[in-house]
Amino acid sequence: MQTSTQNKTNLEVPKKFVYYFAAGEAEGNATMKNVLGGKGANLAEMTSIGLNVPPGFTISTDICAHFYAEGGKLPDWVKPSVLEALTKMEAKIGKKFGDVENPLLVSVRSGARASMPGMMDTILNLGLNDQTVEGLAKSSNNPRFAWDSYRRFIQMYSDVVLEMNSSLLEVTLEDLKAEKGVHNDTELTAEDLKSLVKKFKALVQQMTGKSFPNDPLEQLWGAVSAVFRSWNTPRAITYRELHDIPADWGTAVNVQSMVFGNLGEDSATGVAFTRNPSTGERKFYGEFLVNAQGEDVVAGIRTPQPISLLKEVMPQAYKELEDNYFKLENYFKDMQDIEFTIERNKLWMLQTRNGKRTAKAALQIACDMIDEKMITEEEAILRIDPASLDQLLHPTLDPQAQKTILAKGLPASPGGVCGQVVFTPEDAVELKEKGQKVILVRVETSPEDIAGMVAAQGILTSRGGMTSHAAVVARGMGKCCVAGCSEVEVNYTNETFKAKGYVIKKGDIITLDGSTGEIYLGEVKTIEPKLDGAFSRLMAIADRVRRLKVRANADTPTDAKTARDFGAEGIGLCRTEHMFFGEDRIDAVREMIIAETSNEREKALVKLLPMQREDFYQLFKIMDGFPVTIRLLDPPLHEFVPHSDSEIAELAKRINYDENRLKHKIHSLHEFNPMLGHRGCRLAITYPEIYQMQARAIAEAAAQFVKEGKKLVPEIMIPLVATAKELEILREQTVAVVEQVQKEQNVKYDYQVGTMIELPRAAVTAHEIARHADFFSFGTNDLTQTTLGLSRDDSSRFLGSYVSHGILPKDPFVSIDQIGVGTLVKTGVDLGRQAKGNLKIGVCGEHGGDPSSIQFFENVNLDYVSCSPYRVPIARLAAARSKLQRSH
């Protein structure tokens, strides 16, 4: 019976929080991930669909919140339900927990809603003590196995539950091996292991001041608590932040009867993917180890064998495994990542989950599954995480480049990267902060290394397989990784590694090819990726599904070309100021800025006019009829002038200007709050000649383009408008210039004059502004800055802690603050369209390339999003998903 006692905190006690599963009976199912975590939900489901799953139960994620509410203590009211499930398990299996003759041993594992590989803790062989170990020795008829299980349990428990320094026990084990003159753990005898257990227990007593718990129930409560505690370890927190997993989800705890892959040569353990997680190829893919426990495979301590060999070693179990994977794929309609154990030739399924994969594999698998009629085209779109496409857009090594190969390991996660070698995650983080590129080299990685893995360009390990921690985590991050490179001899003490006679020191440059597993000396040239058939096919489906148009923010012909190649349907923002920094023109810009009369200003502008005209013409040409939105000058003028005395002196000489006068002029441009100062349309209200020159350059470029027989509707955009009157004045002046040019050139074409909505006042008076605008484009960068009163240049220093304190769900400059800034966007859209029903509205702030912001822009009926060229494919896919997931 489940208790419903009132808890001493305000959290409500759930009616049910322990879910039992055993052959033929499962209280949970795959849809209950929120309650049972991914692992627990799928264990229940596998049990229900008839696969062999060791019996057990899941303590729900709700209890994690209660655990923390009670100050990191398992509430007493949880225990009776756990004991009740344990009793059911005992009856099912015919073994008793703590029984000295034939003891039931359990594993205790974490399992959150979203999979967090290796981030949280696991304890195996729980239930062993000085008495039950003898029972296990007898019942398994294998004393060596029993003592080995016991010493493993003490090691794990001391590390995870007692939080002892795990290397102490590890060193004791190594010392014993040295004393016995053996290399492998497997060469230690039962007697050796027995003496090891004794030493371990003495160490525990010495380090913790308490004896190792002998009572299996005490062990169980300790382990369950430790798993809940592991939800909040620094590495789990880093992983959650990286993957946007909310802190309040919590983890579930799975307690399951142990099965053993280390009972001898007829036992094994392994992990496998139903398709290749790197390439997507439809082929069973995985690794196993004979006579081993699961942790040996995942931890990458022994190098495992490919799954294809299992067919030869244990044909019966392999056949069943293959049947299971077909069943699981068909049931979950997705590629599965499974863990299994074979105990004395009997196959047990320990876990299944949707497998993590590279973006390349995700696209291939989605396309194959459409062809296999397993999923629809729309489902395929929903399968691909738009942000993951980033991985495909990264460079690979140039096959033509000269290379000196150092070693070859496993191609764990694709991409070509180079950087300085570092051996510790701390060094990786430190150098990354200094703007350096680093390759993290480790014997193997563990979850503690996560921050270093994030900081590194790529990861190289000398041990571990394709499913080792390094490989799985790097793939999830889309980070290049070469794993299990045994030719590399790492020496942490000297911070060097040896390979092919070379000695590579910390700070030396190497290059990794994560697609072949090769490692090269020095820097190797990289090339841009070519996108394959699956990419184009899914993009075509996305384009068919989506409503939002996708444009790019592009200021140069190169950007514009990249944007077109990635499928942009126009330019949503050309920041003309970026064109002002060219070496051939910056001095003319400066002359324009320091001009004291309109006449002087116009003289400088005349120099700029032909250059701007050519800039715009090139963009029109590349965009070939797609819309091009050109924003007139926006930043404060002081951004264009030099500030040091020597630079000012040089400029004075170049433009033949009095140095002191120039200094004085430049200092007079100083503003205390330039972002709220004399910038945007305010510049044009005081110096109308600047926008007039730009409008003329656009109009003349368009005239030339149209005269060549091509179609174009240029869009001229006025930034930082706060009042309708500003736009009214500037529109009138712009229109006058364009009409004048059309008359001079005797050509007629349509054009539009619109504005950015990037100030709160503009958003809430959008109905007035709309009267003078042909289009709106939301500048959500400035709108975020001005709505939250957060400087876009300075706030990154503390925004991280705002997010980790849960004050803001995400950095609002990355993902739109929907209830704040978003409400202004929605208001602006509604008011704007009330005044002008057909008003075209887009967004060109950074949020235009962020998938969750795109969902918001879809929901409020924008016409287009505009983002940086490399994000265009991401935006196309995100737009399609947003349409499919639209809530109304």
| Partner whose footprint covers residue 337, from ligand PEP, Mg ion, none (CB < 5 to 8 Å by kind) | none
Is residue 591 involved in binding ligand PEP (CB under 6 A)? no
The helix or strand, by DSSP H or E, that contains position 44, with its residue range, turns out to be helix 33-48
Of 485, 844, 847, 867, the catalytic one is 844
- The reply to whether 844 belongs to the active site is yes
- Residues in 750-779 that interact with Mg ion by CB under 5 A: 758, 779
Size of interface with Mg ion, in residues (CB under 5 A):
3
Assign 3-state DSSP to the chain and report helix, strand, coil percentages, each to 5.
Answer: 50, 15, 35
Residue 254 is assigned to a ligand binding site: no
Rounded to a whole number of angstroms, the minimum distance from the CB of residue 786 to ligand PEP is 9
In angstroms, rounded to a whole number, what is the distance separating the alpha carbons of residues 214 and 209?
15
793 secondary structure, DSSP code: T
Binds ligand PEP by CB under 6 A, chosen from 575, 663, 767, 810: 575
HEC-encoded secondary structure of 221-234: HHHHHHHHHHCCCH
Residue labelled with tokens 């989605």: 366
Rounded to a whole number of angstroms, the minimum distance from the CB of residue 692 to ligand PEP is 21
129's CB contacts (< 8 A; 6+ apart) are 98, 213, 214, 215, 216, 219
| Partner whose footprint covers residue 848, from Mg ion, ligand PEP, none (CB < 5 to 8 Å by kind) | none
The helix or strand, by DSSP H or E, that contains position 352, with its residue range, turns out to be strand 346-354
Binds ligand PEP by CB under 6 A, chosen from 204, 393, 573, 588: 573
Of 66, 469, 772, 847, the catalytic one is 469
Which is nearer to Mg ion, 699 or 718 (by Cβ)?
A: 718
In angstroms, rounded to a whole number, what is the distance separating the alpha carbons of residues 548 and 879?
6
Which is nearer to ligand PEP, 417 or 720 (by Cβ)?
A: 720
In angstroms, rounded to a whole number, what is the distance separating the alpha carbons of residues 395 and 432?
19
Residue 780 is assigned to a ligand binding site: yes
- The window from 64-72, 426-434, 694-702, 777-785 that contacts ligand PEP (CB under 6 A) reads 777-785
Which is nearer to ligand PEP, 496 or 780 (by Cβ)?
A: 780
Residue labelled with tokens 């490919």: 306
| Partner whose footprint covers residue 844, from ligand PEP, Mg ion, none (CB < 5 to 8 Å by kind) | ligand PEP
- Asked whether 258 and 156 are in contact (CB, 8 A), the reply is no
Rounded to 10 degrees, the C-alpha dihedral 144/149/151/156 comes to: 160
- The window from 199-207, 376-384, 558-566, 774-782 that contacts ligand PEP (CB under 6 A) reads 774-782
- Asked whether 755 and 732 are in contact (CB, 8 A), the reply is no
Backbone angles phi and psi of 350, in degrees to 5: -105, -20
In angstroms, rounded to a whole number, what is the distance separating the alpha carbons of residues 131 and 101?
9
Binds ligand PEP by CB under 6 A, chosen from 62, 343, 555, 758: 758
| Partner whose footprint covers residue 845, from Mg ion, ligand PEP, none (CB < 5 to 8 Å by kind) | ligand PEP
Which is nearer to Mg ion, 588 or 844 (by Cβ)?
A: 844
Half-sphere exposure of 494 (CA within 13 A, CB side): 9
The helix or strand, by DSSP H or E, that contains position 666, with its residue range, turns out to be helix 659-668
| Partner whose footprint covers residue 858, from ligand PEP, Mg ion, none (CB < 5 to 8 Å by kind) | none
Which is nearer to Mg ion, 192 or 758 (by Cβ)?
A: 758
- The window from 369-377, 560-568, 779-787, 831-839 that contacts ligand PEP (CB under 6 A) reads 779-787
Residue 771 is assigned to a ligand binding site: no
Is residue 444 involved in binding Mg ion (CB under 5 A)? no
Is residue 576 involved in binding ligand PEP (CB under 6 A)? no
Residue 151 is assigned to a ligand binding site: no
Q: Extract the runs of DSSP E, i.e. beta strands, from 554-616.
A: 571-575
Rounded to a whole number of angstroms, the minimum distance from the CB of residue 393 to ligand PEP is 22
**Closest of 98, 87, 86, 93 to residue 57, by C-alpha:** 86
Residue 758 is assigned to a ligand binding site: yes
Which is nearer to Mg ion, 411 or 779 (by Cβ)?
A: 779
Is residue 569 involved in binding Mg ion (CB under 5 A)? no
- Asked whether 412 and 525 are in contact (CB, 8 A), the reply is no
Which is nearer to Mg ion, 62 or 782 (by Cβ)?
A: 782
Binds ligand PEP by CB under 6 A, chosen from 782, 850, 858, 863: 782
- Residues in 813-872 that interact with ligand PEP by CB under 6 A: 844-845
Is residue 555 involved in binding Mg ion (CB under 5 A)? no
In angstroms, rounded to a whole number, what is the distance separating the alpha carbons of residues 35 and 191?
45
How many Cβ atoms from other residues are within 10 Å of residue 668's Cβ?
9
Planar angle of CA 722, 724, 726, nearest 5 degrees: 70
3-state SS assignment for residue 168: helix
Structure tokens at 861: 């009926």
Rounded to a whole number of angstroms, the minimum distance from the CB of residue 579 to ligand PEP is 13
Rounded to a whole number of angstroms, the minimum distance from the CB of residue 720 to ligand PEP is 8
Bridge partners of 753? 716
Mask 338-377, x = binds ligand PEP (CB under 6 A)?
----------------------------------------
Q: How many residues does the chain have?
A: 888
Residue 820 is assigned to a ligand binding site: no
| Partner whose footprint covers residue 780, from Mg ion, ligand PEP, none (CB < 5 to 8 Å by kind) | ligand PEP
Rounded to a whole number of angstroms, the minimum distance from the CB of residue 845 to ligand PEP is 3
- Strands across the sheet containing 305-306: 305-306, 285-290, 268-273, 336-343, 346-354
- The reply to whether 847 belongs to the active site is no
DSSP-assigned states of every residue in 283-296: S-EEEEEET--HHH
Bridge partners of 630? 574, 716
HEC-encoded secondary structure of 457-500: CEEEECCCCCCCHHHHHHHHHCCEEEECCCCCEEECCCCEEEEC
Which is nearer to ligand PEP, 420 or 787 (by Cβ)?
A: 787
Residue 827 is assigned to a ligand binding site: no
- The window from 23-31, 467-475, 588-596, 778-786 that contacts ligand PEP (CB under 6 A) reads 778-786
In angstroms, rounded to a whole number, what is the distance separating the alpha carbons of residues 421 and 246?
34
- The window from 396-404, 537-545, 762-770, 780-788 that contacts ligand PEP (CB under 6 A) reads 780-788
Binds ligand PEP by CB under 6 A, chosen from 779, 822, 849, 869: 779
CA distances from 740 to 44, 700, 737, 745 (A): 75, 10, 5, 9
Alpha-helical (H) ranges within 358-424 are 359-371, 377-383
Is residue 715 involved in binding ligand PEP (CB under 6 A)? no
Structure tokens at 56: 């057990």
Dihedral over Cα of 784, 789, 790, 794: its sign? positive
Structure tokens at 320: 């069943």
**Closest of 450, 432, 430 to residue 235, by C-alpha:** 450
Which is nearer to ligand PEP, 591 or 634 (by Cβ)?
A: 634
In angstroms, rounded to a whole number, what is the distance separating the alpha carbons of residues 272 and 162?
32
Which is nearer to Mg ion, 278 or 785 (by Cβ)?
A: 785
Rounded to a whole number of angstroms, the minimum distance from the CB of residue 690 to Mg ion is 17
Is residue 782 involved in binding Mg ion (CB under 5 A)? yes
| Partner whose footprint covers residue 573, from Mg ion, ligand PEP, none (CB < 5 to 8 Å by kind) | ligand PEP
Is residue 343 involved in binding Mg ion (CB under 5 A)? no
Which is nearer to ligand PEP, 192 or 634 (by Cβ)?
A: 634
Mask 595-634, x = binds ligand PEP (CB under 6 A)?
---------------------------------------x
**Active-site amino acid positions:** 469, 844
Q: Using CB under 6 A, list all residues that contact ligand PEP.
A: 573, 575, 634, 758, 779-782, 844-845
Residues within the interface to Mg ion (CB under 5 A): 758, 779, 782
Binding residues, as ranges, are: 575, 631, 758, 779-782
